[in-house]
Chain A
Amino acid sequence: LQVFDEEGKDVTPHPLFHSDPNTVVPRQGKLLASSAYFGATGSVFLSSFSMHQPSGANASLEQKRSCLLTSYNFSDVQVRQEEIKEELTKADLDRRVDLYLTETETIWMLDMPSVVVSVESEDAARVLERNRIYVDICTNRPGSDRFVEKMMQTVNGAAKNKEVQCDKIIMEDKGMMVTSWDLYDSFHVSEIEPTSKAEGSRTPTGKSSKPHTTKEHNQTMSVSSDRGSTTSTMILESAVLGRIHEEEECHSEAILTSENFQQDLFFMERILMENIFQPKLAAYRQFPVLTDPNVTSDTNGTVAAVKEAKQEKHDKEKKDKEEQKEAFIDPSILSGLNKTLEEIVPPRLERLWSYVCDLTNGHSVSSMVWSKVNPDLLAVGYGAFDFKEQKKGLACCWSLKNPMWPERIFQCEHGVTALDFSMASPNLLAVGMYNGSVAIYDVRSCNDAALLDSSESSNKHTGPVWQLRWVEQDRGATGDGKKERLISISADGRITEWLIQKRLDCTDLMKIKRTESEKKKLPGEKERKSEALISQQAAGMCFDFHPKDTNFYLAGTEEGHIHQCSCSCNEPFLKTYRGHKGPVYKVAWNPFSTDMFLSCSADWSIILWHQDSQTPILTFSSATAFVHDVMWSPKSAFIFAAANESRVEIWDLSVSTLNPVISRFANPRVKFTSVLFAKNTNCLLVGDSKGEVSVFELQNLAAPNSNKV
């Protein structure tokens, strides 16, 4: 389109804007929010536009294009763009765009720096004169004749209005609440990705140790993390942090079989237990049990408002830190406190709970032992009570945190008759069985198989292993420091030490020979022939090493004799104590006054001996029943517990030597078979012939003192 005036001059209106063919041209099409990317359609297009003025038919179209161009290119002019010739792809929209904002240099329009002249220079006078004149002029200017205000007209270019149309610029408001963890996550996503591979390999090992979380072991234990209150490591925490990035969908099976789910279930169960058993556990731990004032429930009602301390579910350290806020005033304690001297509340055993589950029903508890490292972990051996009915036995590890299901269940071929935890490597549990074999289990793994078994050993016991103990020995001679030995005594009359190597093998410490009892020769009797002994050896039933000097030990036999022996000499016995008329089921040194020991036997009596005297010091018999087990209290030198068949008794020698202080009857048809004191609390565990291990709290027992007798 060309316009000519009268003279034929070309006065075609030029486009308002001459674009620089070198600048980047925006793509024809949608307006882009980000000005960083432009499609490179041709500068060709632009130049063609500036060259011709297309005909009116396309005028509107061109105009539109021009609008596009102008609107864009204005921004172009103002901001310097780098020439980027890229096609904008969909991926680009998602890409992270870095926008850099920079400041241009300051453009100086007029720079008249002031000049400072010294007063003493040559020009000083002139400069001062000029300054003075200038000041005069300034002051004179407003009113004087020499200065006149005059208006001037400047040339104004002809203004032309031009309308421009553009596509509506669509603006969207987008807001977002950003939380600090969101920021943290975004920054750390890039960091986590490369490390997740490394952690992915680490978590399986971490997770395999998770099941052991139930054990509250110390750092010293090789078993990893512990749950709840105990102090052990937080391996679970690392498992949580090092989550494997899984791209799989949320299949329900995947969820149900995931490790995390198992973990969660495990903890959930524990928490449930805790809710159910809270008052009992509180009593166990000797916390004051409080009542919840809001709960208007039954007399028993103590619902704990337990503070949430489970963290790490994975962190098992919280157990001890849980605090119970409920209040339940135990009437007996309260009355005990308020009593005047006249009334003394008699000591009693209060039943807290029982460790029992379906699996153990029907088996009889043969032995119980605490873990050496973790005072809340209990190992219980189950075997048949009568020797006639032998079934398969079990050894279970129970934890305080779950009284309804054992943490570990080890099935054994034969009935379990003895158990002990090792001290040096606290994850080892030695189990002695009815057929004379000894097996060692590792409680860290859930595996049912024994680590070591003595079945292949040629030297193994031929009779039931009645007692097992890990004993620390001073091996001064070999300079080895304290080493631990596994010693067992069995019905075939041998006391053997087991060596833990690839296979379990043993050497004999001692063989128990039969001794003839002293017989009174009745007058007039013929001389009898010496008894023809069926076997030279007497069956050993129990033993106990001296608490101070582990060279000496006592062994009780089936004939009723107790022999004192020493490890260092092979000579049969140092001393023999005769007093029982039936098999001695248990001997126990007094942990405080180490010259005394107790023994209990099937002749219905418990005898207290002094080491140096061959005759009994005191005899306790209170029932016509076998006494299966006896144990000194770890807190007091005077107190011990005994399990008769139908009762469990607590004797306190400082109070009375004729009668037990507390006596508790069992349910009918159930016999008590073993007792165990708890070391860290005032409780007594009693095992019975139906497989139940009941936990009793000893209340109001006299204050313990460990003076020697």
Chain B
Amino acid sequence: AEVEETLKRIQAHKGVIATIVVNGEGIPIRTTLDNSTTVQYAGLLHQLTMKARSTVRDIDPQNELTFLRIRSKKHEIMVAPDKEYLLIVIQNPCE
């Protein structure tokens, strides 16, 4: 459906290294990386997202975390968190 199309387009983009969808329990549902790396990313990013969300809500409980971006030397990790899932895209923008 549209979701599939959009997902495919994202994966096909220039510079996108990986796309990972993780469910609420930390189990990857969709991924374009090998399993071990995926699990590693999922676990680490999940914790970071919890912490980020906690930070945002501590400052103002009515606020809510909607998006998280981590820029590093080599790439950029973008996480769209939700109650039931995590959408992670890793992009290398400098090509």
Please say whether chains A and B are actual partners in one complex.
yes
Q: Which residues of A contact B (CB under 8 A)?
A: 179-181, 183-185, 240-241, 243, 250, 252, 254-258, 260-262, 264-269, 271-272, 275-276, 278, 294-295, 297-298, 301, 303-305, 308, 310-314, 404-405
What is the CA–CA distance of A78 and B75 in the complex, to the nearest angstrom? 68
Contacts of B62 in A (CB 8 A): 184
Q: How many interface residues does chain B have, given as a range?
A: 35 or more
Contacts of B30 in A (CB 8 A): 252, 256
Instruction: Tell me the chain B residues, 37-70 only, with Cβ under 8 Å from chain A.
Output: 54, 57-58, 61-62, 64, 66-69
Contacts of A267 in B (CB 8 A): 67, 80
What is the CA–CA distance of A609 and B23 in the complex, to the nearest angstrom? 67
Decide if B14 touches A262 in the complex (CB within 8 Å): no
Contacts of A297 in B (CB 8 A): 94
Decide if A275 touches B82 in the complex (CB within 8 Å): no
Decide if B94 touches A266 in the complex (CB within 8 Å): no
**B87 lies within 8 A of chain A by Cβ:** yes
Decide if A268 touches B73 in the complex (CB within 8 Å): no
Decide if A255 touches B21 in the complex (CB within 8 Å): yes
Decide if B29 touches A184 in the complex (CB within 8 Å): no
Checking B66, B73, B82 against A261 with a beta-carbon cut-off of 8 angstroms, the contacting residue is B82
**B18 lies within 8 A of chain A by Cβ:** no
Contacts of B33 in A (CB 8 A): none
Q: Which residues of B contact A (CB under 8 A)?
A: 1-3, 6-7, 9-10, 13-16, 21, 23-25, 29-30, 54, 57-58, 61-62, 64, 66-69, 71, 73, 76, 78, 80, 82-85, 87, 89, 91, 93-94
What is the CA–CA distance of A674 and B29 in the complex, to the nearest angstrom? 46
Contacts of B6 in A (CB 8 A): 262, 265-266, 269
What is the CA–CA distance of A227 and B10 in the complex, to the nearest angstrom? 18
Decide if B64 touches A240 in the complex (CB within 8 Å): yes
Closest residue of chain B to A252 (Cβ to Cβ) is B29
Decide if B94 touches A179 in the complex (CB within 8 Å): no
What is the CA–CA distance of A261 and B29 in the complex, to the nearest angstrom? 13
What is the CA–CA distance of A366 and B3 in the complex, to the nearest angstrom? 31
Known: A250-B23, A272-B89, A272-B91. A308 touches B67 (CB 8 A): yes
Known: A250-B23, A265-B10, A267-B80. A257 touches B93 (CB 8 A): no
Known: A252-B23, A255-B85. A269 touches B10 (CB 8 A): yes
Decide if A250 touches B85 in the complex (CB within 8 Å): yes
Decide if B15 touches A265 in the complex (CB within 8 Å): no
Decide if B15 touches A275 in the complex (CB within 8 Å): yes
Known: A180-B57, A261-B85, A311-B67. A276 touches B10 (CB 8 A): no
What is the CA–CA distance of A180 and B10 in the complex, to the nearest angstrom? 37
Decide if A184 touches B84 in the complex (CB within 8 Å): no
Contacts of A294 in B (CB 8 A): 73
Checking A261, A305, A308 against B3 with a beta-carbon cut-off of 8 angstroms, the contacting residue is A261
What is the CA–CA distance of A179 and B89 in the complex, to the nearest angstrom? 30
A-B contact pairs, 5 of them (CB 8 A): A240-B66, A254-B84, A261-B82, A262-B2, A308-B67
What is the CA–CA distance of A310 and B69 in the complex, to the nearest angstrom? 10
Contacts of A305 in B (CB 8 A): 71
Contacts of A265 in B (CB 8 A): 3, 6-7, 10, 87
A22 to nearest B CB, angstroms? 49
- Secondary structure at the B interface, as helix, strand, loop or mixed, is mixed
What is the CA–CA distance of A82 and B14 in the complex, to the nearest angstrom? 73
Decide if A276 touches B87 in the complex (CB within 8 Å): no
Contacts of A304 in B (CB 8 A): 93
B87 to nearest A CB, angstroms? 5
Known: A250-B25, A252-B23, A305-B71. A268 touches B61 (CB 8 A): no
A278 to nearest B CB, angstroms? 8
Checking B23, B71, B76 against A255 with a beta-carbon cut-off of 8 angstroms, the contacting residue is B23
Decide if A405 touches B87 in the complex (CB within 8 Å): no
What is the CA–CA distance of A305 and B94 in the complex, to the nearest angstrom? 12
What is the CA–CA distance of A294 and B73 in the complex, to the nearest angstrom? 8
Decide if B93 touches A256 in the complex (CB within 8 Å): no
Decide if A313 touches B67 in the complex (CB within 8 Å): yes
Decide if A308 touches B58 in the complex (CB within 8 Å): no
Contacts of A308 in B (CB 8 A): 67-69
A370 to nearest B CB, angstroms? 25
Decide if A185 touches B61 in the complex (CB within 8 Å): yes
Decide if A262 touches B78 in the complex (CB within 8 Å): no
What is the CA–CA distance of A272 and B76 in the complex, to the nearest angstrom? 10
What is the CA–CA distance of A308 and B80 in the complex, to the nearest angstrom? 12
Contacts of A276 in B (CB 8 A): 13-15, 93
Known: A180-B58, A252-B29, A276-B13. A310 touches B66 (CB 8 A): yes
What is the CA–CA distance of A298 and B93 in the complex, to the nearest angstrom? 12
Contacts of B15 in A (CB 8 A): 272, 275-276
A267 to nearest B CB, angstroms? 7
Contacts of A310 in B (CB 8 A): 66-67
Contacts of B76 in A (CB 8 A): 275
What is the CA–CA distance of A252 and B29 in the complex, to the nearest angstrom? 6
Contacts of A250 in B (CB 8 A): 23-25, 84-85
What is the CA–CA distance of A180 and B60 in the complex, to the nearest angstrom? 8
B77 to nearest A CB, angstroms? 12
Known: A250-B25, A257-B3, A272-B89. A301 touches B14 (CB 8 A): no
Contacts of B73 in A (CB 8 A): 294
- Known: A181-B54, A240-B64; 16 extra A-B contacts, CB below 8 A, are A179-B54, A181-B61, A250-B85, A256-B21, A256-B29, A257-B3, A258-B85, A269-B6, A269-B9, A271-B69, A275-B76, A276-B13, A276-B14, A301-B94, A310-B67, A313-B80
Contacts of B69 in A (CB 8 A): 271, 308
Contacts of B89 in A (CB 8 A): 268, 272
CB-CB nearest 5 A-B residue pairs: A181-B57, A184-B61, A264-B80, A252-B29, A181-B61
What is the CA–CA distance of A400 and B71 in the complex, to the nearest angstrom? 23
Closest residue of chain B to A302 (Cβ to Cβ) is B94
Closest residue of chain A to B83 (Cβ to Cβ) is A243
Closest residue of chain A to B82 (Cβ to Cβ) is A260
B68 to nearest A CB, angstroms? 8
A201 to nearest B CB, angstroms? 20
Decide if A264 touches B25 in the complex (CB within 8 Å): no
Decide if A272 touches B66 in the complex (CB within 8 Å): no
Closest residue of chain B to A300 (Cβ to Cβ) is B94
Contacts of A313 in B (CB 8 A): 66-67, 80
A190 to nearest B CB, angstroms? 15
Decide if A268 touches B87 in the complex (CB within 8 Å): yes
What is the CA–CA distance of A298 and B66 in the complex, to the nearest angstrom? 33
B39 to nearest A CB, angstroms? 16
A257 to nearest B CB, angstroms? 6
Closest residue of chain A to B6 (Cβ to Cβ) is A265
Contacts of B14 in A (CB 8 A): 276
Closest residue of chain B to A312 (Cβ to Cβ) is B66
